[in-house]
Amino acid sequence: MELTQSLLAVIPVFLLIATGYIFACWKTINLASVTELIVYLGTPSLALSSLASRRIFLEEIMVLSFGLLIIFAVVGLLVQIYFLVFRFRSRGFTLPVLFMNAGNMGIPLALFAFGQAGMQRATFLFVLNTILQYSLGIYILKGRGEAREIFRLPLIYATVTGLALNLTGVAIPEAMFQAISLLGQATIPLMLVSLGYRLRHVKAFRWRDAAGGALTRIVGGFAAALIAVQIVGATGVNRQVLLLYGCLPAAVVNFVLTEKYGQDPELAASIVVFSTVLSLVTTPIALWLIM
């Protein structure tokens, strides 16, 4: 993929994020209601329709799963090295560096860059990332797990259903599938606009550790993904999506969780903002290298 094509894949994503940011400057809304629609209707529909629409094999699921786990392991090691070098430790640093923006940015970017097959893989990685975020992520913040949180998310049940339909070859009735698919597709721009809106209200900023966290998340994550695809032998679109996910910026939900559990939310917010801005430059370059 030429650099121009990489930019064309990225521009729609950042335009929608900018739209949400500008909208937030003009009007205040209750974003919680929009988030409820995304969490309880949009993303489950996206997961179900995406996973059921195009055949994915068990071997590919294993490659993607182990690939993402290796990325987490390597980035986690980089976080510990950062703490040792700078004699600094914060759970509000660990969470946003570890967990990438798998939904709001990962799924749309994979769709625009790699088509429906890319979006399908990205959706699966988003689900896996969500499971880890609400189990390992909360364990990092609290020192104990919150497994019940995972089972409250309809996304999990939609994913299991989608994978079961995919692997067994059972088709959803066409009219029902089209309705679910439309709802899922509508979620993509809504996620991006919501991300922009949320970023407008992030005020705190801590330069040094925000820059260190953002670079570890994006550059370190890409290096981790390069290691992961070699270990698991990922090829084709599986390799492309894993590499893309490695260099995604930090997810806004990391700030929400650190704020909820009182674990340095100002630093988490700073990393989210810095990494998202930095990704304006790094994402087109990464896509160019990936292709």
Report pLDDT digits (tens) over 50-59.
888 777 888 9
Say if residues 127 and 150 touch (Cβ distance below 8 Å).
no
The DSSP result for 122-137, as a single string, is HHHHHHHHHHHIIIII
Average pLDDT over residues 49-74: 90
- Which whole number is the average pLDDT over 225-237? 97
Pick the residue with more confidence: 27 or 221? 221
Report whether 281 contacts 132 (CB < 8 A). Answer: no
DSSP code of residue 32: H
> 150 pLDDT exceeds 70?
no
Sketch the domain layout of the chain as residue ranges. 3-290
Question: Which helix or strand (DSSP H or E) is residue 89 part of?
Answer: none
Q: Average pLDDT for residues 99-103, to the nearest whole number?
A: 91
Query: What is d(CA 279, CA 90) in angstroms, rounded to the nearest whole number?
Result: 23
Measured between alpha carbons, how far is 287 from 202 in angstroms, rounded to an integer?
Answer: 28
More confident position, 291 or 99:
99
264 neighbors 119 (Cβ within 8 angstroms): no
**What six digits make up the tokens of 282?**
């790094």
Q: Which residue has the tokens 């430059």?
A: 281
Average pLDDT, the chain: 87
More confident residue, 144 or 129: 129
Classify domain 3-290 by CATH number. 1.20.1530.20
Report whether 26 contacts 198 (CB < 8 A): no
List CB contacts of 69: < 8 A, sequence separation 6 or more: none
Distance between CA 245 and CA 101 in Å, rounded? Answer: 8
Q: What is the pLDDT of residues 87-97, one digit of tens each?
A: 988 999 999 99
As a whole number of angstroms, the distance between CA 287 and CA 206 comes to 29
Instruction: Record the tokens describing residue 278, joined without a space.
Output: 């930095």
Q: Which amino acid is at 98?
A: L
**Which is more confidently placed, 18 or 147?**
18
Structure token pair of residue 80: 């510990």
Task: Indicate the SS3 state at residue 100.
Answer: strand
> What pLDDT is recorded for position 229?
98
105 pLDDT more than 80 = yes
Q: What share of the chain has pLDDT > 70, as a percent?
A: 94
Neighbours of 28 (CB within 10 A): 11
Q: Is 209 buried (19+), middle (13-18) or exposed (0-12) by CB count in 10 A?
A: buried
**DSSP β-bridge partners for residue 133:** none
Contact call for residues 290 and 10 (beta carbons, < 8 A): no
Does pLDDT of 120 surpass 60?
Answer: yes
Strands (E) located in 27-105: none
The 8-class DSSP code of residue 258 comes to H
Task: Classify each residue of 241-255 as buried b or exposed e, where b means 16 or more C-beta atoms within 10 Å of its C-beta.
Answer: bbbbbbbbbbbbbbb
DSSP letter string over 264-287?
-HHHHHHHHHHHHHHHHHHHHHHH
Nearest to 201 by CA among 39, 28, 38: 28
Q: How confident is the model at residue 231 (pLDDT cuts 50, 70, 90)?
A: very high
pTM of the model: 0.85
The answer on pLDDT for 177 being more than 60 is: yes
